[in-house]
Amino acid sequence: MRTQVAIIGAGPAGLFLGHLLKRAGVDAVILERRDRAYVEGRVRAGVLEQVTVDLMERLDLGQRMRREGLVHGGTNLASDGDVFRIDMAELTGGSTVMVYGQQEVMKDLFDAAEARGVQIVFDAEDVHPQDIESDRPSVTWRENGVDKRLDCDFIAGCDGYHGVSRAAIPSDVLRTFERVYPFGWLGILAEVPPCDHELIYSNHERGFALASMRSPTRSRYYIQCGLDEKIEDWSDERFWDELCLRLGPEAGAKVIRGPSFEKSIAPLRSFVTEPMRHGRLFLAGDAAHIVPPTGAKGMNLAVSDVVMLSEALVEHFQDGSDAGVDHYSARALARVWKAERFSWWFTSLTHRFPDRDGFDRKMQVAELAYIKGSRAAQITLAENYVGLPLV
Ligand code: APR
Ligand code: PHB
């Protein structure tokens, strides 16, 4: 088999890239280790920046999002129960975010892939990028027990944090930067109306809490928890009690309780790998970087990566210029680091750090009070939250 671009992984990065290349007339094949139901079923964040909304529209995938997504012009912060609003639209000259679950985005991408002939091989075992330093790279894998090989011009490693692509870059070339946080997020989904029409990020003495949603009838809530905690120890009742406490009396009183139908604990990590290209292999999305979920930048960063990567690849195939290909890593990393900084800062501002003392907590409370009273500070938060421009 032969194609122009072999894409490893059919998460948001791989699927968006597949669609972008298809639209531009560049041949690509996506190789995914799991099946569609698995990839689509993973519960992830659900706040789309303008860049992501624009891409959905540009790919003619925006119909359901426009109908079912919730446009948010503001978000809320809480400091020990005192909730205040950041009017993002007013502060940024009209920018908003769209609340539309990653699972819905994935469904739209998969449905359209089938209809538009974006090629995806599911259940591809033992996928490996080969000869990435040569100008004739390939990807090998096993399918139903049969060895397969795809010759290509470029490989896009869109296979997430645990994928094989990053590992194909020699260790003396690769540099990694990492921060592991001493807590996780315990999240639930419940078929109940959300406590507010916008999100609430709450810093409470007992730890962080987040009120989010998937629709006017489906809520997504999180509380910070210890990394050693067990999901079995968190009955729904215990979760609701702790959430209400951390959101404070006003917002807590508006929480409507109900049985959870999903409950899981996720660790928090900041991670960046440099460079995002080696030879004929490019990294995009979680394969190259991870952000803690505070601020919901994960999928949006995967999207900005593949927008830049598709532009570079199209330039190569259509104009015969490698300027974009050569600039991809530096261009993508410039935006990645800014989103890393914001996600790290927002996490540091809102979480309880078990290893820190009363002084650090006072600094958080003072910073929240400063943000509440300062338009300049609110603009800084708002422009990062709605998403920085692609440059
Ligand atoms: N071979 C083939 N596919 C693989 C391999 C492999 N060796 N390893 C992983 N994959 C697949 C996974 O099964 C998954 O479907 O690659 C895909 C990677 O998807 P994500 O982990 O979602 O990464 P990405 O597309 O970069 O999306 C980043 O979306 O899922 C969220 O938390 C994530 O917000 C982040 C954003
Ligand atoms: C979510 O709804 O899952 C969500 C929203 C905002 C975040 C993180 C997760 O910052």
Ligand 1 and 305: CB distance under 6 A: no
**Domains in the chain: ranges and CATH:** 5-48+101-178+269-347 (3.50.50.60)
Q: Is the pLDDT of residue 19 over 90?
A: yes
- Residue 361: other Cβ atoms inside 10 A: 14
Which residue has its alpha carbon closest to ligand 1 atom 36?
A: 299
State the Cα–Cα distance between residues 220 and 385, nearest whole angstrom: 19
Locate the ligand 1 atom nearest the alpha carbon of residue 285 and give its number.
26
Q: Which helix (H) or strand (E) holds 369?
A: helix 358-373
Report the separation in Å between the CA atom of 294 and the middle of ligand 2, taken as the mean of its atom positions: 7
Q: Is the pLDDT of residue 45 over 90?
A: no
Phi, psi of 25 (to 5 degrees): 80, 20
State the Cα–Cα distance between residues 206 and 292, nearest whole angstrom: 19
**Once rounded to an integer, what is the mean pLDDT over residues 139-162?**
98
What percent of the chain is modeled with pLDDT above 70? 100
- Residue 334: other Cβ atoms inside 10 A: 12
Report the separation in Å between the CA atom of 355 and the middle of ligand 2, taken as the mean of its atom positions: 25
Q: Whose structure tokens read 């959430």?
A: 243
State the Cα–Cα distance between residues 364 and 193, nearest whole angstrom: 30
Locate the ligand 1 atom nearest the alpha carbon of residue 127 and give its number.
1
Question: What residues are annotated to the active site?
Answer: 72, 201, 293, 297, 385
**Ligand 2 — pocket residues by CB below 6 A?**
45-47, 199, 212, 220, 293-296
Which residue has its alpha carbon closest to ligand 2 atom 8?
A: 296
**Once rounded to an integer, what is the mean pLDDT over residues 301-318?**
98
Nearest ligand for residue 158 CA: 1
Report the separation in Å between the CA atom of 310 and the middle of ligand 1, taken as the mean of its atom positions: 18
State the Cα–Cα distance between residues 54 and 244, nearest whole angstrom: 35
According to DSSP, the residues that pair with 148 across neighbouring strands are 141
Phi, psi of 186 (to 5 degrees): -100, 115
Q: What is the pLDDT of residue 330?
A: 98
Instruction: Report residue 145 as tokens.
Output: 């027990």
Report the separation in Å between the CA atom of 42 and the middle of ligand 1, taken as the mean of its atom positions: 10
* Confidence grade of residue 43 (pLDDT, cut at 50, 70, 90): confident
Nearest ligand for residue 299 CA: 1
C-alpha of 315 from chain center: 26
Indicate the burial class of 201 (C-beta count within 10 angstroms; 0-12, 13-18, 19 or more). buried
Which residue has its alpha carbon closest to ligand 2 atom 9?
A: 45
Per-residue pLDDT tens over the stretch 260-284: 999 999 999 999 999 999 999 999 9
Per-residue pLDDT tens over the stretch 357-366: 999 999 999 9
Nearest ligand for residue 36 CA: 1
Report the separation in Å between the CA atom of 23 and the middle of ligand 2, taken as the mean of its atom positions: 30
State the Cα–Cα distance between residues 334 and 175, nearest whole angstrom: 15
Q: What is the pLDDT of residue 207?
A: 97
Q: What torsion, rounded to 10 degrees, do the Cα atoms 70, 72, 75, 81 define? A: -40
Q: Is the pLDDT of residue 288 over 90?
A: yes
Pocket test for ligand 2, best of 201, 210, 260 (most atoms within 8 A of CB): 210
Report the separation in Å between the CA atom of 385 and the middle of ligand 2, taken as the mean of its atom positions: 12
Locate the ligand 1 atom nearest the alpha carbon of residue 141 and give its number.
1
Per-residue pLDDT tens over the stretch 204-252: 999 999 999 999 999 999 999 999 999 999 999 999 999 999 999 999 9
CA distances to 92, 221, 255 from 179, rounded to whole Å, are 30, 24, 33
pTM value? 0.97
Q: What is the pLDDT of residue 60?
A: 98
**Once rounded to an integer, what is the mean pLDDT over residues 119-125?**
98
Locate the ligand 2 atom nearest the alpha carbon of residue 45 and give its number.
3
Pocket test for ligand 2, best of 49, 97, 199, 202 (most atoms within 8 A of CB): 199
CA nearest neighbour of 213 among 192, 186, 231, 234:
192
Per-residue pLDDT tens over the stretch 81-100: 999 999 999 999 999 999 99
Q: What is the pLDDT of residue 115?
A: 93
* Confidence grade of residue 174 (pLDDT, cut at 50, 70, 90): very high
On whether the CB atoms of residues 352 and 206 are closer than 8 A, the answer is yes
**DSSP assignment string, 255-280:** PPP--EEEEEEEEEEEEEEE-SEETT
Report the separation in Å between the CA atom of 205 and the middle of ligand 2, taken as the mean of its atom positions: 21
**Once rounded to an integer, what is the mean pLDDT over residues 122-147?**
98
Q: Is the pLDDT of residue 113 over 90?
A: yes
Q: Is the pLDDT of residue 3 over 90?
A: yes
* Confidence grade of residue 345 (pLDDT, cut at 50, 70, 90): very high
**DSSP assignment string, 30-51:** EE-SS-HHHHHH-----EE-HH
Indicate the burial class of 94 (C-beta count within 10 angstroms; 0-12, 13-18, 19 or more). exposed
Rounded mean pLDDT of the chain?
Answer: 97
Ligand 1 and 30: CB distance under 6 A: no
At residue 91, the 3 state secondary structure works out as helix
On whether the CB atoms of residues 175 and 217 are closer than 8 A, the answer is no
Locate the ligand 2 atom nearest the alpha carbon of residue 43 and give its number.
3
The most distant pair of C-alpha atoms in the chain lies apart, rounded to whole Å, by 64
